[in-house]
Structure formats: C-alpha cells, structure tokens
C-alpha cells in the first residue's frame, strides 16, 4: 500500500509572482478525499483581486520571458521533466488523495504529464531555427516569417487529470515564451501547487507561472478575461462552460483553445480480434473510472460478436477490484464527488426504468467515499438520456449494429466529435471507418490514444484547436510577417 508524503503546508497558498501568498480574505477551501468523503487539506481561496494580481505578475515578466533564449527555456522544461519523474511517488500520492485515482493509474498520469515537458523542451530549442526568409514574387523585397508568443495566457484545468491537463497547457505555453495564470479545479488544487514548486525549482522565473485556486471561478475568470492584457485562454472542461467562455473571449477577440465534452463511440466489428477489442474497450471505458472526455461512451458491437463480447466484458468487470486508491491492486476507485455519482446513477436509473437491461452493477455502493460499481447496460431504449449524454462514470452502454454504414451514421449522430475507437482486423475497413467518423481522434485496435507527441482535440462541439503534438506549440504562437526592402 502506498503512503502519502507529509503535506507541505506552505504549498497550500496561492502562488503569485514567485511567492506563496494567502488570499486577500484569508479564507480557505477544503480538499476532500473522494475515498473517504473527508477534508484532508485546506488551500487559500483566491478572490477576484488575487486573480488580477496573478495576471499583473504574468504581464510584468511577459517581455523578459519571451526574450529569454529558447535554449534556456528548453533546458528549464527538460529539468521539469526530470524533476516530475524523480518525484513520481509524491505526485501520484497527491493525485490518489485528491482525485481518488487508483495508484497504478496515478503513476501513469505522472509519466504522461512529464512527457509533455520533455516533448515541448525538444520543440522549444528549435523555435527560432524554424523561421523563413524568402523573396516576394516580383523580387522587390524579402518576406521574413517568424513566430512570437501569443502573450499572457489563462489556463483552466479540470479535476479528472490534475497533473496532465496542467502539463499539457503549461509546457507549450512556456516553450513558446508565454507567461501564465493557471486556475486548477478547486477539487484538485494540490497537484498543481506542487507542480508550481517544481517549475520554480527548475528555474522558471517569478511571475511566469502563477497558480490561483478559487471557489469563485466564474467571477475570477471573467475579470481576467475582461482585462485586455490577457491574450489567450486555454480551457479543458464541459461544452456548456466552454460556450460561455467563448462568448467572453469574443469581447476581446482573444486567442482560444477549447478541449470540451465528448461522447466517444467505440465500434467492434465481427472480424475484430475479440481479446484485443475487450482489452481496448476495458481501457477506454474504465480508465479513471470513466471520468475522461475520451472515455468510450457508446460501445457498438456488431450482431455476430455481440453475445460473446458482452459476456466476456461482464466477466472482466466482475473480476476487477474496487477500493482504496492507494492499494496497488485497485482498478476502480471512487468517483470525484457525490454530485458526480448521483449524476451517473440517475443516467442508469433512467435507462433501466425505460426498459434497459443491467446485468452487472447499477447500485450505489454504500459506505464511506463516492464509490460506484462497474456497470453494463444493454437493450437501451431510444429515449434513454444516456444515449446522448457524456456519462463520466464506469458505466458501459452497449448497443448493437448490423452494417458499417449503419454504425457510421450512429457514431456521427451527436454534436460531439472528440475521440472514437474502431476494432477490426480488416485494415481497409479500419481506415475507411476512421476517415468517415467526424471526430478529432480515432484509435484503431487500441483503447488509449493520449500521447504528448500527438495532437489531442475535437471537432464539432468538442472544441477548438489541438494540444500536444506539433500543433500544441502553435496554439501559443502568433505568426509574424516582416517585409524587408534592402
């Protein structure tokens, strides 16, 4: 059983201008352990003024950070990568404590997160080497094209990947030369505060990264966005909140990156290798207890293989261990809070009341913590709410289909287009279906596609822009054209 490190109380404050500060009012917010339902730490609660102080700090050093040699920025990111790896245990403990993520997955999240610092350290060093100098067609003057940082950036991250979502935004922002204000979810602030400390120790100058935790997100974000010095917002969260932020961003024509909700289809054809499909579906559904925007929300199985697939999937779910996130054998931890658990349960009850079959799970686990069992639903009627909503819990909704065209139609029949998964041994079909699905990402015969080197993002109401990959750096850059007459 892993044990948590002693909490460093200096890190339970706001991180502004390189200093750990109490909030203006001295108020604090509790951090609840979802496995027990009890508070185990308290962090400073930022006011709107604290948020603006963080923006001031970011703006003050924007020019100097942008002028810092790219090689120096790259070296800082590389040191951050190494430090996160060296402190894997400490980060994983915080993630398990504040998010309820099972130990093995918490460690995987740490490595995934560190990978963003390594990936963008590698890109940072090349930034100025990639400019272009050409002649305009009439040979009258030169056209110089270079990249410059967008400027002070507001980064808003969710609770489901407390370290990875911050890493995916901070690493490219710093690589590009942007300064940042990070507002992590109030449920999971401790991981971000530890990351701020790691960044500071790695050499990030005061003011380049600021972290504000608040119980008043709406007002604090609105105030920072209203300020014309804020040049970029990168948000990961629900489509509903994303739409509101887009409307606010429009007021100042602000550069935006939006990673929003999903409703991922996972398609298993008759000709799939069933063991590969089961493994992929298990991962795509159960990773983080289904609390991910790339989680398989709708599992479509072709009629010829459906009975065998469903029976074997249920067998796997019945065998998995639910329990203490710190137990290395735990596969399914608690959900983030009681509200999330009630939402998941109400989707299940709605479907069952309307006629769905629930061969496993479906009942709230009584006792301490916000546990919900791995659940399967089949025969889901057309009017069940679960068909349209993002589940964000360990509930596998299984549907059947007959033909390729039929399943493509069903897969695309949603306003979302984030992740999708296809299982088949027919390569031509795999590529054809991947191409026909209107989603930003498709996994072929794999249930985990997240990777720092790949562009993560969605189409339709799943968002705008990409994070990670080559595109991830571009999200924090402007293209500058200079005409030069010699």
What span, in angstroms and rounded, lies between the C-alpha atoms of 269 and 432?
13
Of 208, 211, 281, 294, the residue at the interface with ligand SIN (CB under 6 A) is 294
**Shortest Å, Cβ 414 to ligand SIN:** 17
Mask 338-357, x = binds ligand SIN (CB under 6 A)? --------------------
**Shortest Å, Cβ 462 to ligand SIN:** 10
Q: What are phi and psi of 188, to 5 degrees?
A: -135, 60
Of 162 and 362, nearer to ligand SIN (C-beta) is 162
**Shortest Å, Cβ 59 to ligand SIN:** 28
Q: Is residue 178 among the annotated active site residues? A: no
Does residue 188 belong to the site contacting ligand SIN (CB under 6 A)? no
What span, in angstroms and rounded, lies between the C-alpha atoms of 469 and 175?
13
Q: How many helices (H) and strands (E) does the chain have?
A: 15, 22
Mask 221-250, x = binds ligand SIN (CB under 6 A)? ---------------x--------------
Q: Is residue 49 among the annotated active site residues? A: no
Of 113 and 330, nearer to ligand SIN (C-beta) is 113
Of 164, 277, 296, 356, the residue at the interface with ligand SIN (CB under 6 A) is 164
**Which of 59, 93, 178, 293 does the annotation list as catalytic?**
293
**Shortest Å, Cβ 232 to ligand SIN:** 19
**Shortest Å, Cβ 288 to ligand SIN:** 7
Among 369, 358, 366, smallest CA distance to 335 is for: 369
Q: Is 178 exposed, middle or buried (0-12, 13-18, 19+ CB in 10 A)?
A: buried
Cα–Cα distances in Å, from 47 out to 22, 44, 132, 265? Answer: 10, 10, 45, 40
The residue whose two tokens read 């990264």 is: 209
What span, in angstroms and rounded, lies between the C-alpha atoms of 120 and 473?
7
Give me the sheet containing 419-423, strands edge to edge.
Answer: 357-360, 375-378, 395-401, 296-302, 264-268, 419-423, 441-444
Of 210 and 236, nearer to ligand SIN (C-beta) is 236
Of 257, 292, 340, 400, the residue at the interface with ligand SIN (CB under 6 A) is 292
DSSP string, 312-330: HHHHHHHHS-BS-TTSTT-
Does residue 297 belong to the site contacting ligand SIN (CB under 6 A)? no
Considering only the stretches 14-22, 78-86, 265-273, 291-299, report the one whose residues sit in contact with ligand SIN under the rule CB under 6 A.
291-299
What span, in angstroms and rounded, lies between the C-alpha atoms of 147 and 339?
44
Among 14, 16, 17, smallest CA distance to 29 is for: 14
Q: Which helix (H) or strand (E) holds 352?
A: helix 338-353
Of 160, 192, 257, 442, the residue at the interface with ligand SIN (CB under 6 A) is 160
Of 20 and 416, nearer to ligand SIN (C-beta) is 416
Are 251 and 226 in contact, with CB atoms under 8 Å apart? Answer: yes
Task: Calculate ∠ Cα 329-333-336, nearest 5°.
Answer: 160
Among 283, 306, 308, smallest CA distance to 295 is for: 283
Mask 441-470, x = binds ligand SIN (CB under 6 A)? ---------x--------------------
Are 129 and 354 in contact, with CB atoms under 8 Å apart? Answer: no
DSSP string, 177-193: T--EEEE--TTS-HHHH
Task: Calculate ∠ Cα 412-415-417, nearest 5°.
Answer: 60
Of 95 and 293, nearer to ligand SIN (C-beta) is 293
**Contacts of residue 253, Cβ cutoff 8 Å, sequence gap at least 6:** none
Are 292 and 161 in contact, with CB atoms under 8 Å apart? Answer: yes
Considering only the stretches 79-87, 158-166, 270-278, 307-315, report the one whose residues sit in contact with ligand SIN under the rule CB under 6 A.
158-166
**Shortest Å, Cβ 295 to ligand SIN:** 7
Considering only the stretches 214-222, 223-231, 287-295, 323-331, report the one whose residues sit in contact with ligand SIN under the rule CB under 6 A.
287-295
**Which of 109, 259, 306, 390 does the annotation list as catalytic?**
259
Of 426 and 451, nearer to ligand SIN (C-beta) is 451
**Shortest Å, Cβ 55 to ligand SIN:** 25
Are 399 and 407 in contact, with CB atoms under 8 Å apart? Answer: no
Residue nearest to ligand SIN (CB): 450
Number of residues that bind ligand SIN (CB under 6 A): 8
Considering only the stretches 144-152, 159-167, 178-186, 401-409, report the one whose residues sit in contact with ligand SIN under the rule CB under 6 A.
159-167
Of 96, 278, 293, 348, the residue at the interface with ligand SIN (CB under 6 A) is 293
Q: What is the contact surface with ligand SIN in residues (CB under 6 A)?
A: 160-161, 164, 236, 292-294, 450
Active site residues: 259, 293
């Amino acid at each position: 059983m892993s044990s948590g490190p002693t909490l460093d109380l200096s890190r339970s404050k706001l991180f502004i201008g390189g200093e750990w500060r109490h909030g203006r009012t001295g108020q604090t917010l509790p951090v609840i352990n979802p496995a027990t339902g009890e508070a185990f730490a308290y962090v400073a609660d930022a006011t709107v003024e604290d948020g603006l102080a963080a923006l001031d700090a970011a703006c003050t050093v924007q020019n100097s950070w942008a002028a810092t040699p790219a090689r120096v920025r790259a070296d800082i990111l590389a040191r951050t990568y190494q430090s996160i790896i060296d402190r894997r245990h400490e980060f994983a403990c915080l993630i398990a404590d504040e998010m309820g993520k099972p130990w093995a997955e918490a460690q995987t999240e740490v490595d995934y997160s560190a990978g963003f610092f390594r990936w963008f350290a590698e890109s940072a060093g090349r930034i100025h080497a990639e400019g272009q100098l050409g002649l305009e067609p009439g040979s009258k003057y030169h056209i110089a094209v270079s990249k410059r940082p967008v400027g002070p950036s507001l980064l808003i991250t969710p609770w489901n990947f407390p370290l990875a979502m911050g890493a995916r935004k901070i690493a490219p922002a710093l690589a590009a030369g942007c300064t940042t204000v990070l507002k992590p979810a109030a449920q999971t602030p401790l991981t971000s505060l530890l990351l701020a400390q790691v960044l500071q120790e790695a050499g990030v100058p005061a003011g380049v990264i600021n972290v504000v935790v608040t119980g008043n997100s709406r007002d604090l974000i609105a105030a920072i966005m209203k300020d014309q010095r804020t040049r970029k917002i990168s948000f990961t969260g629900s489509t509903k909140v994303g739409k509101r932020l887009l409307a606010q961003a429009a007021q100042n024509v602000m550069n935006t990156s939006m990673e929003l909700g999903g409703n991922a289809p996972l398609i298993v054809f008759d000709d799939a290798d069933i063991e590969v499909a089961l493994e992929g579906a298990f991962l795509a559904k159960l990773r983080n207890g289904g609390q991910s925007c790339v989680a398989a929300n709708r599992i479509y199985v072709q009629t010829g293989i459906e009975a065998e697939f469903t029976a074997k999937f249920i067998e796997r779910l019945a065998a998995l261990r639910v329990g203490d996130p710190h137990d290395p054998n735990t596969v399914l931890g608690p959900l983030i809070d009681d509200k999330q658990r009630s939402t998941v349960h109400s989707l299940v009850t709605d479907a069952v009341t309307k006629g769905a079959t629930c061969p496993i799970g479906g009942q709230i686990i009584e006792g301490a913590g916000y546990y919900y069992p791995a659940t399967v639903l089949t025969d889901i009627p057309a009017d069940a709410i679960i068909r349209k909503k993002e589940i964000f819990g360990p509930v596998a909704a299984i549907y059947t289909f007959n033909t390729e065209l039929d399943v493509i139609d069903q897969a695309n029949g949603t306003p979302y287009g984030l992740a999708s998964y296809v299982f088949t041994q027919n390569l031509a079909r795999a590529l054809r279906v991947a191409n026909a699905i209107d989603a930003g990402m498709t996994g072929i015969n794999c249930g985990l596609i997240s990777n720092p080197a790949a562009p993560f993002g969605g189409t339709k109401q799943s968002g705008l822009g990409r994070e990670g990959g080559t595109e991830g750096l571009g999200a924090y850059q402007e293209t500058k054209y200079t005409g030069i007459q010699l």
